[in-house]
Amino acid sequence: MITISKKEMKHIVTGMGKVMIKNTGSLPILTSLRFKSQKGKLVITGTNPDETLHYSIDNEEITSEEFLFPFKVFRSLSKGHGHVCFIQDKKNILRIQTTDCGGNTRQHAILSKDEFPSDLEGKIATKKDLRFLESYQFCAPYASTDEVKRTSLVGVFVDTDCMVATDGKRLTRKMYSPPETLSEKSILPYSTFLMWLKERSTRVGSNSSWFKLSTTHWTYLLRLREGLYPNYKQVIPELTKSNYIEIGDADRICDFIEQFDADDRNGITINAKELTHVDNDGLKSTMLFNTLPGILPTLYKIEHPTTVNDAFFAEALRSGFRRFCWEDDMCPVRSDNEDSTSTHVLMSMRIIRD
């Protein structure tokens, strides 16, 4: 017998939902969770061709054999309060008892464990890492999503001293020292599970094909992306004082940009004293910088105005970047955070159009 609280089931459902395939085609087995007793623990596993996710629960009294159970049904059972008991009376039949609403019992057919995909990753050593998730979650939103034209950019690149992500129009770098168990020069695909996970202390590692992360309850395996990552260092311009702006009233600027409909978003030009936005119909809107002392003034020195994507500029401000510099209107715009642990680069609109 296996007993799980509905509170814990909800947590399992949310995590597994990031991995479970919703449209399997010829692989209906991948819509099921595997339940397996392993060294005094119940291990629940979900998988797809590129990810495998395990959730372990301490339980010395598990008496059920290994079996597969539909994720869709498991998710429906997690609703409400109380506990759910899974009792395997027969080889292919599972009896399910719930404790809420007076309790009820039902039966459900289960699939053979032999149909579940075998683990392909092999042994992977891991080491404790307190900064992996913070760094990955910071960079991943900037990775390309174009699986056709920008295959090598669809992911986060782990270098010797940082993580990097770019979509060809903007780039972000977060200083990070990977443990020796995590292979340098690895490309980690964008992962909704890693973006969802909220745990500071993790253990990470990789081999030539797979990345592994483990926490107290979760163990996650992700297939690494193949290929060589472009030389991102040549894209990052040197710091310069030729043209710069240090934003004081970031929220006000973001509100100015975000008032325009997404269809009217285009470029925003950083001039001396003001920002100029031009929509798709050529209509100009201008916002003067706040330079009053004591009210978060914006400081600047601008001889060569530059134009950048307005949504990307607002996104950089929302991420905490405040000081932007560039050599001239043909050069990328660089921004570093206050402690120089993160760098953000925006391509000028002129570079993109040329």
Would you say residue 354 has pLDDT above 60?
A: no
Kindly provide the b/e burial profile for residues 336-345, where b requires at least 16 CB atoms within 10 angstroms of the residue's own CB.
Answer: beeeeebbbb
Between 171 and 153, residue with greater pLDDT = 171
Q: CA-to-CA distance for 38 and 82, rounded, in angstroms?
A: 25
Sign of CA dihedral 139, 145, 146, 152: positive
Q: Give the residue-averaged pLDDT of 239-257.
A: 90
Q: Say what the pLDDT of residue 102 is.
A: 60
Q: CA-to-CA distance for 337 and 246, rounded, in angstroms?
A: 11
With a CB cutoff of 8 Å and minimum separation 6, the contacts of 185 are 157, 158, 159, 229
Q: CA-to-CA distance for 136 and 333, rounded, in angstroms?
A: 23
Q: CA-to-CA distance for 110 and 90, rounded, in angstroms?
A: 10
Would you say residue 91 has pLDDT above 80?
A: no
What CATH number does domain 128-232 carry, 3.40.50.2300, 2.60.120.10, 3.10.150.10, 3.40.640.10? 3.10.150.10
With a CB cutoff of 8 Å and minimum separation 6, the contacts of 229 are 152, 153, 157, 164, 185, 187
Q: Say what the pLDDT of residue 61 is.
A: 66
pLDDT, tens digit, 9 for 90 and up, residues 208-244: 999 999 999 999 999 999 888 999 999 999 999 999 9
HEC profile of 284-327: EEEEECCCCCCCCCCEEECCCCEEEEHHHHHHHHHCCCCEEEEC
Q: Which CATH superfamily is domain 243-353 in?
A: DNA Polymerase III, subunit A, domain 2 (3.10.150.10)
pLDDT, tens digit, 9 for 90 and up, residues 308-338: 999 999 999 999 999 999 999 889 999 999 8
CATH number of 2-115: 3.10.150.10
pLDDT, tens digit, 9 for 90 and up, residues 121-167: 678 999 999 999 999 999 999 999 877 777 778 899 999 999 999 99
